[in-house]
Amino acid sequence: MQLRFRLSFTVLLGCLMLLVGAISAHSGSIKPGTFYVVGVGPAGPEHTTLRALEVIKGVDYILCEDKMVERFKPYVKDKPVLADPWKGMWDYKGKPWEELPKMKLEEKRAFQEERIRIREEIVRQIKEKLAQGKTVALLDSGDPCLFGPSHWFSEGFEPQQVEIIPGVGAFTAAMAALKKSSIPAYDTRFVMQTSPYFFTGSGKEMLGELAKYPISMVFYMGIRELPNLVPLLRQSHPGDLPIAVVYNAGYPDKEKVVKGTLDTILEQVAGEKEKWMGLIIVGRCLEGKPYRTRVENLVGYQDVKKSKQSDSTVPKP
C-alpha cells in the first residue's frame, strides 16, 4: 500500500514539475515590456516561422495593416490593433511615394514632416504600453532586416527593448518559384540585392562597373522602373542576359513567373497589371544547369575528364 502511494505521489509530482516547467518556458518566451518586430514572410501563415506565430499569439498589442489582420486572424484573434504603421507613410495628399521627386520643395518638406509626426505618435503609443509591462508586435512582410521599413519604428527604442523575429524574404520565395540557386552558378561570385532607385544619377556608372564581374542581380521595388532599368542594363550587359520577374512571390494563388532576356522582357511583361508586388532577378543563374556547369568548369576538372577518356581508349592487355 505504501509502495503504491509513493509511486502515485512520485508520478503526480513529476507531472506537476513538467506542467510548471512548460508554463515557465511559455511565459519566458514572451518578455514583458518588449517591442517585437515580426517578419511574417510573404502571403500568410504558411510562410511564417513557428517562433513568429508564437509571438503573435502571445503579445498584448499588434501593429499591422487590415489585410494582415485577416490573414493571421487565427493568431491575432481579438487583440487590440494599435495602428496601421504604414498608413500615410507612402503617400501624401493623394500623391504616391514615386511622385516625391516631382513634388515642389515645400511639398517634400511637408510630406517628410507628416511622416515623422506619424512615426513619433506610433512610437509614443508603443513606449506607453511597454512602460505598463505590455508587449507589442509589429507585423512586417518578408524579412524585416532586408528593405525593412519597420526599422523606422524600432530605432526609437533601446536595443534591449526590441526583439526582431526574422522571416522568409521575397528573394527566398522568388528563387524557390524559379527553382534556381543564385550562387554558386556558372562563375558567379556574389549576389547583389538592391533597388533600381539606387541607380539614378551617378549610380548609372556603377552598373557599368558591375558588368565586369560575374554577378546575380536582385532588384526590389522595381516593377514600375523596369522600362528604365532594362535599357540601363543593356548599356553594359549583353542582350541575351537572362532576366526573370516573379510577381507576388510566395502567394500560392497569385504567384507568376515571367522569364526572358534583356532583349525580350519588356515586351513579355507589357500586359501585366501588377506594378508593385514583384521581384526582378538578372543573371546567368537563371539558365540551364548553372550549378553543374560551375562544377564542370572548375580548374582541374576538365584535365581529369580528358585523362579518364584517354585511359578508356587504351586497349586492355
Looking up residue 197, the CATH number of its domain turns out to be 3.30.950.10
Whether residue 8 lies inside any domain: the answer is no
Residue 90 near residue 111 (C-beta atoms within 8 A): no
Backbone angles phi, psi at 96, to 5 degrees: -75, 170
Q: pTM higher than 0.85 for the full model?
A: no
- 29-67: per-residue pLDDT in tens? 889 999 999 999 998 899 999 999 999 999 999 999 999
Degrees to nearest 5, angle at CA 202 with 196 and 208: 75
> How far apart, in Å, are the Cα atoms of 136 and each of 78, 114, 231, 294?
14, 23, 45, 47
Whether residue 121 lies inside any domain: the answer is yes
Q: Cell 505598463 sits at which residue?
A: 132
Q: Would you call 206 helix, strand, or coil by DSSP?
A: helix
Maximum pairwise Cα distance, the chain? 91
User: Domain check: are 119 and 220 in the same one?
Assistant: no
Task: Read off the CATH number of the domain in which 70 is found.
Answer: 3.40.1010.10
- 81-115: per-residue pLDDT in tens? 999 999 888 888 888 777 777 888 888 898 889 98
The whole-angstrom distance between residue 113's C-alpha and the CA centroid of its chain comes to 28
CA pair distance 234, 270, nearest whole angstrom: 18
What is the share, in percent, of the chain residues with pLDDT greater than 90? Answer: 56
Q: Mean of the per-residue pLDDT values for the chain?
A: 85
Backbone angles phi, psi at 171, to 5 degrees: -65, -45
The secondary structure of residue 237, as a DSSP letter, is: S
Within 13 Å and on the Cβ side, how many CA atoms surround 44? 12
> Domain of 84?
31-168
Query: What's the structural domain count of the chain?
Result: 2
**DSSP assignment of 171-196:** HHHHHHHHT--SSSSTT--EEEEE-G
CA pair distance 113, 107, nearest whole angstrom: 10
User: Domain check: are 136 and 224 in the same one?
Assistant: no
68 pLDDT band, cuts 50/70/90, is very high
What mean pLDDT is predicted for residues 210-222?
Answer: 91
CA pair distance 291, 285, nearest whole angstrom: 8
What is the share, in percent, of the chain residues with pLDDT greater than 70? Answer: 85
Q: Would you call 145 helix, strand, or coil by DSSP?
A: coil
The whole-angstrom distance between residue 76's C-alpha and the CA centroid of its chain comes to 21
User: Domain check: are 177 and 164 in the same one?
Assistant: no
230 pLDDT band, cuts 50/70/90, is very high
Give the per-residue pLDDT at 13.
Answer: 46
Final residue of a structural domain among 150, 168, 186: 168
User: Domain check: are 149 and 115 in the same one?
Assistant: yes
Residue 305 has pLDDT above 80, yes or no: no
User: Domain check: are 163 and 180 in the same one?
Assistant: no
> How far apart, in Å, are the Cα atoms of 39 and each of 43, 46, 123, 166, 169?
12, 13, 19, 5, 8
